[in-house]
Amino acid sequence: MPTDVIMPQMGESIFEGAITKWLKQPGDSVLKDEPLLEISTDKVDAEIPAPAAGILVEIKVPEGATVGVNTVLAVIDSAVTPAARVPAAAIPAPKAAPESAPAAPQQPKLASSASLPSAQEPAPAVQPARRIRSSPLVRRIAKEKNVDLALVPGTGSDGRITKEDILRYLAQPRAATPAARAVAPSAPAQQPVAPAAPLPAEPVPLTRMRAIIAQRMVESVQISPHVHTVYKADMTRIVRLRERVKGSFEQRHGVRLTYMPFIATAAIQALRRFPIVNASLVDGPQGQSILYHPAIHLGIAVALDWGLIVPVVRNADQLGFPQLARAIADLAARARAKKLSPDEVGSSTFTLTNSGIFGEEFGTPIINQPDSAILAIGSLAKQPAVVTDTEGNDSIAIRSVQYFCLGFDHRTIDGADAGRFMTAFKTSLETWDLPID
């Protein structure tokens, strides 16, 4: 019996989505809950599982199309089970043997191994079986340049092929054919000195996620009068604590101890003291008013190979340090793997963005609406500093220093509010005395 695959309702405010990639093609066997296609919505990119096992008999909506929720995307014949399909699926396999070894059909094993350039070459025979992860931009470039993505090494999350990967591949002369790829084992050593990757000759259309990001950033700047204030925090105490306990922390709690949970905890402590920074400006019957959120929903900006997304730690103020560390790491990992659910994206009350991982001292972030503030985390570096001992004597010492920039909506948050919040945040980091176990 036929089973329809429909565009799901990915959150209450989501009314449409774009098909970014079909992971199966008509005639393919599918298992129930096996990833069937990738979609992109206003809030999240996600893999959609098959609603039933069977054979994918028809795709009704092509890649790149945008449709409303509940639209029928494909049809699965669930009366034909994947198990029953196996004998038929094996039929085309013998056709590959004459192509690889037409002169010796009576010795298929010897012929297939003799056709390989080296003992390391069986990998390409397995390569097509793996699911290739890539962005719509990468697939568009591959189509225009007639590139088999199975031959392009991916450096992104879970082997995802990034734009830089395919441009680097195109820049290598030996990447023109699979045969050239097997020549010169020392070739990988030449990659660092390869010529600059060529840029696309034609304008590249924005992906859906990039277009949404552009729209949201313009809207935020138009809505909120942005003000930024930068503070420098001495992180030496935390750096020493982390170095001392990071091994045992990971053993006990199953997650790497990064600096993010320290920063998130300090922000939560300051938000509790100054709730105006956790508030939002809302429209109502009597005009605009300030909504003080009873809980702290902490947005964590995550940079992806194909854009930016802000998953949210719900009720972050109710979590202990280990639970907060696990929640942040889990959300970031699932964001990169497209495993987030719609309710894990959006509706934050305060956002952290770690632009310092790229080496910048600090950035001036754009507010993630409808928040009233966002905190940008700069890079951590050692600097000489003047320190004063308990007797008032000054000396020069090497300290671990980090810059933090608070971007805030001046309609709701005054400079004094921002200053008090940042002072509390900075003090919490510099005099850290909270338990982490």
pLDDT digits (tens, 9 = 90+) for 196-225: 678 888 888 887 778 888 888 999 999 999
Q: What span, in angstroms and rounded, lies between the C-alpha atoms of 273 and 202? A: 52
Q: What span, in angstroms and rounded, lies between the C-alpha atoms of 239 and 373? A: 26
Q: What span, in angstroms and rounded, lies between the C-alpha atoms of 175 and 153? A: 11
346 vs 218, higher pLDDT: 218
Would residue 283 show up in a list of annotated catalytic residues for this protein?
no
Instruction: State the pLDDT at residue 122.
Output: 42
Residue 413 CA, distance from chain mean position: 31
Taking 70 as the threshold, does the pLDDT of residue 56 lie above it?
Answer: yes
Name the pLDDT band for 17 (thresholds 50, 70, 90): confident
Q: In angstroms, what is the C-alpha Rg of the chain? A: 27
Tell me which DSSP letter residue 10 carries: -
- Catalytic-role residue among 226, 228, 253, 410: 410
CATH code, 131-186:
4.10.320.10
- 370 phi/psi in degrees, rounded to 5: -95, 20
Name the pLDDT band for 353 (thresholds 50, 70, 90): very high
C-alpha angle with apex 260: 257 to 262, nearest 5 degrees?
Answer: 80
Q: Which residue has the tokens 């070739």?
A: 187
Lowest mean pLDDT across 58-72, 121-135, 395-409: 121-135
To the nearest whole number, what is the mean pLDDT of the chain? 81
Residues of the chain with CATH 4.10.320.10: 131-186
- Catalytic-role residue among 293, 414, 417, 437: 414
Mean pLDDT of 164-177: 66
Instruction: State the pLDDT at residue 26.
Output: 92
Residues of the chain with CATH 2.40.50.100: 2-86
Sign of the four-CA dihedral 343, 347, 349, 350: positive
| pLDDT over 70, % of the chain | 79
Taking 90 as the threshold, does the pLDDT of residue 150 lie above it?
Answer: no
Residues of the chain with CATH 3.30.559.10: 209-430
CATH topology of domain 209-430: Chloramphenicol Acetyltransferase (3.30.559)
Instruction: State the pLDDT at residue 245.
Output: 96
- 135 phi/psi in degrees, rounded to 5: -90, 165
Would residue 414 show up in a list of annotated catalytic residues for this protein?
yes
pLDDT 10s digits, 237-258: 999 999 999 999 999 999 999 9
Q: What span, in angstroms and rounded, lies between the C-alpha atoms of 317 and 187? A: 52
Q: What span, in angstroms and rounded, lies between the C-alpha atoms of 212 and 222? A: 15
199 vs 378, higher pLDDT: 378
Letter string b/e over residues 386-415, b meaning 16 or more CB atoms within 10 A of that residue's CB? eeeeeeeeeeeeebbbbbbbbbbbeebbee
The H or E element spanning position 271 is helix 260-273
Name the pLDDT band for 109 (thresholds 50, 70, 90): very low
Instruction: State the pLDDT at residue 408.
Output: 98
Taking 70 as the threshold, does the pLDDT of residue 417 lie above it?
Answer: yes
Q: What span, in angstroms and rounded, lies between the C-alpha atoms of 165 and 145? A: 14
Task: Sort strands 350-353 and 373-388 into parallel, antiparallel or unpaired.
Answer: parallel
Give the pTM: 0.64
Instruction: State the pLDDT at residue 355.
Output: 86
Lowest mean pLDDT across 156-165, 209-218, 290-299: 156-165
Sheet strands side by side (includes 54-59) = 2-6, 72-77, 54-59, 29-30
Taking 50 as the threshold, does the pLDDT of residue 108 lie above it?
Answer: no
Q: What is the DSSP string of 334-384?
A: HHHTT---GGGBS--SEEEE-GGGGT-S---PPP-TT-SEEEEEEEEEEEE
Mean pLDDT of 37-52: 81
Instruction: State the pLDDT at residue 43.
Output: 63
CATH topology of domain 2-86: OB fold (Dihydrolipoamide Acetyltransferase, E2P) (2.40.50)
Name the pLDDT band for 14 (thresholds 50, 70, 90): low
What is the number of residues in the chain?
437
Mean pLDDT of 350-364: 91
Cβ(238)–Cβ(402) below 8 Å: no
Lookup: tokens for 102: 């037409």
C-alpha angle with apex 423: 419 to 426, nearest 5 degrees?
Answer: 135
